Structure 1
Amino acid sequence: MKHKDELKREAIINETIAIVYAKGFVGVKMAHVARKVNISPSTLYVYFKSKDDLISTIATELLKNITEISQNQLNTNLPYKLKFKAIWLFYINFGVNNRKEMSFIHQVKQSPYFEMIPESLRNLKSSFVLDLLDEGKREGLIKNLDNKILSALLESFLNETVKLIDSKTLKLNEEDTNTMFLLAWDAIKN
């Protein structure tokens, strides 16, 4: 049995993310990924059992990392609006600086691969945002709407803000990100 090399594993993951960014999941062919990272297809299968395993493993690891980092960024001692803004800025910065990874996650969320991610992780990521929304509702600071509606609204604002920064319509600076944050805040505040 071949031993796993962490650098090869990372190269496989990075190449897969790049392919999905450029072509979507349909572009991921195991033999092509292996060729791009200069390994044989049989070596690739030492790391990942199948295309489904490859994609779901990458998605799981990305979601876990994003969730852990965002939770570590959260200063629970801040007033609610500032706490909310800190998370907002984290996701804007992460989205701008990790375009391919964010595209990968967005595509996974819209596909059957999302169901392959452990439910505990899907729930953890969701509960983090839902807990923050529930806190705002309890404090009477945000509208008492269904969290799915609030989450969809905020995710749309975040995604579009990242797109506007990518297209150079907005800058990744305090003024423009604050403007977009205030628009999102105005949409949900009580």
Structure 2
Amino acid sequence: MAKLQKSIDKRNALVKATIELVNNNGFHATPMSKIAKMAKVSPATIYLYFENKQDLLNQTYIDVKAEYTKYAFETYDSSMSVAYGFEIIWKRISNFKLNECEEAMFLAQCDNTPIIDEAIRQEGIKHLQPLLDLWERGKKEGIIKPISDYLLYAYAINPLSFLMMTQNRGSFKLTKENIEEAFQAAWSSIKLCK
């Protein structure tokens, strides 16, 4: 059992080092040797867990995406109204992005660059299924604009990444009031006006 935990700890250290180095240096300036050094393992140890650097990046992306979506949907129930369900999910996502900055920044980089394999990116999208299902129900009920889920995500969720980056740079401090205003703006951008 101790051997298994040690193995899990090493893999987790590699993932954590990958996130930190990619956030600080970018994908291309993050060699495997630096990842191993930061994780305090030998470079050969990486290959016990990952096939190569691309596999390490892909698996780190999926791990972080799973953590992110587990948090986002933890208090959501599909029986909630569309408006309330969206508010619950949106506020959980904002909380994650503003409090788990390292992971959120890593996801933002992965989502906005071609470094992650397309098949892995599609697998990552599957983790958002409860949100996509909510939007589909909202479209059928005439509550959400009948537009592409990519557009809905771009207008309702992606601005949180901008706010996270702005806060991380110290340019803007988000308050409860700002977060509520941002939620109202996000909801207004996707709800169907009647």
Aligned to 1:24: 26
Residue 118 of structure 1 deviates from its aligned partner by 7.4
Aligned-partner Cα distance in 2 for 1:172–1:7: 36
Residue 70 of structure 1 deviates from its aligned partner by 2.5
Residue 52 of structure 1 deviates from its aligned partner by 1.0
The two structures, once aligned, show a CA RMSD in angstroms of 2.3
Aligned-partner Cα distance in 2 for 1:177–1:124: 27
Aligned-partner Cα distance in 1 for 2:53–2:81: 45
Aligned-partner Cα distance in 2 for 1:125–1:35: 31
Aligned to 1:47: 49
Contact 2:108 2:161 survives alignment (8 Å): no
Contact 2:69 2:128 survives alignment (8 Å): no
When residues 182 and 123 of structure 1 are mapped into structure 2, their CA distance, relative to the original with a 3 A threshold, is closer
Q: What TM-score do you get using the length of structure 2 for normalisation?
A: 0.84
Q: Which moved more, 1:78-87 or 1:106-115?
A: 106-115
Residue 5 of structure 1 deviates from its aligned partner by 2.1
2:116 to 105, 113, 118: 113
Question: Is the partner of 1:27 in helix, strand or coil?
Answer: coil
Measured against aligned partners, the alpha-carbon deviations of 1:25-79 in whole angstroms (never above 9, x if no partner) come to 1122111222223322122222222111111111111122222332332123332
Unaligned runs of 5+ in 2: none
In the alignment, does 2:172 pair up with 1:169?
yes
Aligned to 1:83: 85
Residue 168 of structure 1 deviates from its aligned partner by 5.7
- The 5 A counterparts of 1:5-154 are 5-109=7-111, 110-117=113-120, 119=122, 121-154=123-156
Measured against aligned partners, the alpha-carbon deviations of 1:95-126 in whole angstroms (never above 9, x if no partner) come to 0111121222222222241425274x334234
Measured against aligned partners, the alpha-carbon deviations of 1:122-147 in whole angstroms (never above 9, x if no partner) come to 34234333212111112211222222
Amino acid across the alignment from 1:59: Y
Contact 2:71 2:96 survives alignment (8 Å): no
Aligned-partner Cα distance in 1 for 2:40–2:158: 39
Amino acid across the alignment from 1:30: M
When residues 156 and 122 of structure 1 are mapped into structure 2, their CA distance, relative to the original with a 3 A threshold, is closer
Contact 1:137 1:143 survives alignment (8 Å): yes
Question: Is the partner of 1:159 in helix, strand or coil?
Answer: helix
Residue 17 of structure 1 deviates from its aligned partner by 0.5
Contact 1:143 1:189 survives alignment (8 Å): yes
Q: What TM-score do you get using the length of structure 1 for normalisation?
A: 0.85
